[in-house]
Chains A and B, each alone.
Chain A
């Protein structure tokens, strides 16, 4: 026969035990604590896109596809350039034919399936180009959803995909709010921009940065306060894409408007 006193005691004990989160029972691991606090790494790669300077030539896309061995004629790419044409009647036209691999050479906006929209010069209120690439988020949702640990973030903040470990489930492709991931047509695993990790490792810049004749794309070390890119990010009016998702993108933009998604 259970007494009222012992029932209350046990109920409180169980409720208290349930309240202790499972993580509190984990053993203290200094290595992990250090990792989750400020990492001792001296480098955190960040990217700056100046949309005022971009002219939509698409040399970045061409260079990226060649450098990273993404099949040139497949309609997938690690980076692409979008054209935004905002007309006086308030409409926004957006296109990126073949990811702008061949640049923007016509005023006609591609609508897909071989259809084009002709826009008269006098109807244009503003028009500009926005290069897109992986944001190398500080909170990468694509990494969280990977069930096998095939995609991960390195100490310097770049998100990579392990081609031998990826099972091709596609969760990360669905999970990325920026749509930067796709299946590699040859390897049949998830593929994404990795800031040309092999070039960074050799002290070079990414292929798209080197290919851009207008300085619209720049890469820098966010942990170095004297880095020219970091200085612009710290002191000028930069914005990021889809801030409301809480992904903390590390690709910063100059000159975005509300139309850019």
Chain B
């Protein structure tokens, strides 16, 4: 057959070869079908390790109790026992090195997350002792009268 018939074919083959070579370079070695099969398993395996390496910010109360046993014990014997320290003090991250000090959130907005009374009997909210934040000493911080680590105890002055 004549040359001008074959030429487009060669060009097409060259393009295919180029795409295949580019694919070999661009697609990572660990990209493929992994455990979850053809439909859900296509991915770059290394990404799982990337996600596992994300830094933990909230270290939970177990991290706090060795250095702050007084506060920890106060809290654990109070109706607030189930509230994680970091809910009010912010994530511990690398404390005490980084950050050196933790925040102390004394805002009313923090307390009224639970203690603004809502009459919702179908949920646990209805059973929580609550106030109306508009009328209950609106100008004061809650901690003036209530000791947050144990609300049953009087505030130490």
Contacts and interface: CB of A to CB of B under 8 A. Distances in A.
A104 interface: yes
A59 B86 CA distance: 10
B118 A160 contact: no
B35 A56 contact: no
A135 to B, nearest CB: 14
B65 to A, nearest CB: 14
A198 B31 CA distance: 21
Contacts of B44: 149, 162, 164-165
Contact of B58 (A66, A126, A214): A66
B36 A127 contact: no
B40 A153 contact: yes
B93 to A, nearest CB: 10
Contacts of A211: 58, 84, 86-87
Interface residues of B, number: 48
B60 A204 contact: yes
Contacts of A150: 43
Interface in B68-108: 80, 82-84, 86-87, 90-91
Contacts of B55: 198
B42 A56 contact: no
A105 B41 CA distance: 43
Contact of B41 (A35, A58, A85, A207): A35
Contacts of B53: 198
Contacts of B109: 102, 105
Contact of B112 (A32, A103, A210): A103
A160 B45 CA distance: 11
Contacts of B82: 213-215
B113 A59 contact: yes
Interface in A148-171: 149-155, 160, 162-165
B153 interface: no
A59 B120 CA distance: 19
Interface stretch (A11-19, A46-54, A91-99, A227-235): A46-54
A127 B123 contact: yes
A62 B120 CA distance: 22
Given A57-B113, A128-B123, A210 B60 contact: yes
A204 B47 contact: no
Interface in B34-59: 34-44, 47-48, 50-58
A107 B87 contact: no
Contacts of A163: 47, 50
B87 A104 contact: no
Contact of B35 (A35, A146, A162, A201): A35
Given A144-B40, A213-B82, 20 more contacts: A53-B123, A63-B86, A63-B87, A66-B57, A67-B57, A67-B58, A102-B109, A102-B113, A104-B116, A127-B118, A129-B125, A151-B43, A153-B40, A154-B48, A197-B54, A198-B53, A198-B56, A201-B52, A204-B60, A210-B60
